[in-house]
Structure 1
Amino acid sequence: MGHTRHRTAAAALAAALALTLAACSSDDGGDSSGGDGAKPTASGAPGGAAAPQQTAAAPAPAPGAVPPAAAPGTGSYYVALGDSYAAGVRIPETVPGSPPGCSRSASNYAHLMAKQLAVPTFADATCGGATTADLGAPQTTLMGGTAPAPAQFDVLGPETRLVTLGIGGNDIGFGEIMTTCVLRSADKTSPTPCKNAFTKDGQDVLKQRIDATGPKIDAALKTIRDKAPQARVLVVGYPAILPESGDGCPAQLPVAVGDLDYLRGVVRDLNGVISARAAAANATYVDTYTPGIGHDVCKPVGVKWVEGIIPESPGAQAHPNALGHEGMAAAVIAKARQA
């Protein structure tokens, strides 16, 4: 009877999680703009490098203000690319005037970074649900209708001097992974039901997906170099979701205790591939996993960076909240300021 109730509860939670993770690409909001909702596709900002500087051609905005988008044609000074972990899905306030479904938050790490560094022009092209394929092609979101989000690479140009890229989680099926692991947590016939679900013919399916994502990141970084040859590129990894030890927190994220190490390994392995590909492309990897340790989904409000299956602060399930984006922003800004 207890196992039946557990299975029923897990199924209900998994269904809710699946809907929310799907909605990460279907919420209203976000845009390809700086702060005014205009589509940013270019920049008149002249050269500069790691730490963006004010220029005569494109004066820096007032302190604390969101930098404007550049005029079409040559690329904004700072361009943010990526998926829902970069977009800040369901964190208010959503940037208005953008393709429906991307759910870009005005409090995501890119916006925080653009304001703190006072870059002259800024384009946030991040979009919930994005894969590496969506960087170079229009992305149809669940609420996008006949007007898909433009290809993220469209906002790059020869005047772009700084790029952040946070991508790869959806290429390995993040939503499917989380939903499967929550649902399988009710299976008491094995200590590792989630790992079992992703093991086929003795092979780890997720490891295969992670390995296959490497060349896709290579291609993305090459395109960024081609379109923005003078840009410094910061490739942002994924933060810690689960605690480093202990039995987890079923009320926040119901996962079998035996699967915790496996799931931690998935995030670490994906970050490892992202880091290696960044180094090979002469880009800079930004570790958000290490600073996120101790801020996992099991921690209380005001400490946790990542929300659980029933969010306690605004944000999507199993995604960073506003505090998480502040922490990620600190890591990215520190790298951006390094020579």
Structure 2
Amino acid sequence: MRTTRLLVAGFSAAILLTTTAAAASAAEYHHYVALGDSYTSGPYIPVQRIDPLGCGRSTANYPSVVAAALHPGRFTDVSCAGADTTNMTRPQKVPFDGTNAPQLDALRVDTDLVTLGIGGNDYGVFGTLTATCPGLRASDPTGSPCEQHFSASGTDTIMAAIDNIGPRVEAALATVHERSPGARVLLVGYPRIAPEQGYCPDVLPFADGDYAWLNSVEEALNRTLSDAADADGKAEYVDTFGPSRGHDACARGGSAWINGKNQDVFAAAAYHPVKAGMAGVAAVVLKALT
């Protein structure tokens, strides 16, 4: 246990030093707006905000860590669990009888920094995977039953859905530029969930062969986001998949950025970033801002 605590402490110190150094080199910002889904909002990561509670918006999510490092004149976080690109311009109903206003309504003419993490919920991509794949592992533990399930028609329907996400993200970026023409806009990708090698079915209960497929799905989604930023021509794509290598859900010794299958209402939602993951993503974002 002592070794684990030392590893966690060392990792946290490294993140803090990286974050501080990056912040010192970043420009001064007057109004920072954070937009996105649950990988931005941080459901169950303490301390949760209640504006509205159903958005699962943490005061320790990566936008909050970035804001704490940059000290912008004003910080507005409207990210919300369950959001997809339609919720950039439409209100979103959330649990506990709440509503999150259209996220782009938070933008102002003088907004000069925007981070956006969106796309994984479009066409139900992430939710469909986490709801379906664990239940298929028992049928073929060493095979790839989930990939086969979604390719039964001869077409990988998950990959096909991802192909359609790009135009939606491009449209969202275009509206961001319209409302905040002077803003620096960062489109933040998704960190890795599965390891490059090895398995941990007790934590990530996908069939062994589906680990590689899950990685390919994430790579495709992140590639779609990167292409959307390129097509936009003004936004910058921030890769978190590469920097999160070794910090997947299977990582040991407190180095995981992603929670596994077990929901922890005092730490993180299932298959979502933990506090250390948010700190890690924040360090990557701050490095991009230098």
Q: Would you call these one fold, judging by a TM-score over 0.5?
A: yes
Give the Cα–Cα distance (whole angstroms) in 2 for the partners of residues 299 and 192 of structure 1: 22
CA-based RMSD? 1.7
Q: State yes or no: 1:134 paired with 2:134.
A: no
C-alpha distance in 2 between matches for 1:228 and 1:93: 30
TM score, norm. by length of structure 2: 0.87
CA distance in 2, matches of 1:181, 1:257: 11
Matched, 1:230 2:205: no
2:147 is aligned, of 195, 209, 227, to 195
Task: Name the % identity.
Answer: 42
Question: How far apart, CA to CA, are the structure 2 residues paired with 1:182 and 1:89?
Answer: 21
Deviations 1:153-210 (Å, cap 9, x if unpaired)? 0100110000000000111421111120101111129821101121142001011110
Report the secondary structure of 2:94's partner residue: coil
User: Which one of the candidate residues 192, 202, 205 is aligned to 1:254?
Assistant: 205
Contact 1:52/1:162, CA 8 A, preserved across alignment: no
Q: Normalized per residue, which structure has more helix?
A: 2
1:79 aligns with 2:33: yes
2:62 corresponds to = 109
- TM-score, normalised on structure 1? 0.75
Matches within 5 A, 1:51-130: 51-53=26-28, 77-96=31-50, 98-130=51-83
> 1:163 is paired with a residue of what secondary structure?
strand
Of 171-180 and 259-268, the range deviating more from structure 2? 171-180
Contact 2:115 2:188 in 1 (8 A): yes
Task: String of CA shifts for 1:257-306, please: whole Å, max 9, x gaps.
Answer: 11111110000000000011112212111111111110111112521110
Paired position in structure 2 for 1:245: 197
Counterpart residue number, 2:118: 167
Measured against aligned partners, the alpha-carbon deviations of 1:238-267 in whole angstroms (never above 9, x if no partner) come to 001111012x10100111111111110000
Q: Which has the larger radius of gyration?
A: 1
**More relative contact order in 1 or in 2 (CA 8 Å, sep 6+)?**
2
Instruction: Give 1:305's aligned residue.
Output: 257
CA contact (8 A) 1:307 1:316 kept: yes
Instruction: Tell me the equivalent position of 2:277.
Output: 324
Find the counterpart in structure 2 of residue 68 from structure 1. Answer: none
Could you tell me how far apart the structure 2 residues matched to 1:122 and 1:296 are?
29
Moved more, 269-278 or 194-203: 194-203
> Is this contact kept in 2: 1:314–1:321, CA < 8 A?
yes
User: How far is the alpha carbon of 1:142 from its aligned partner?
Assistant: 2.6
Unaligned segments of structure 2, at least 5 residues = 1-24
Number of residues paired by the alignment? Answer: 263
1:100–1:149 contact (8 Å) kept in structure 2: no
Output the amino acid matched with 1:78.
Y
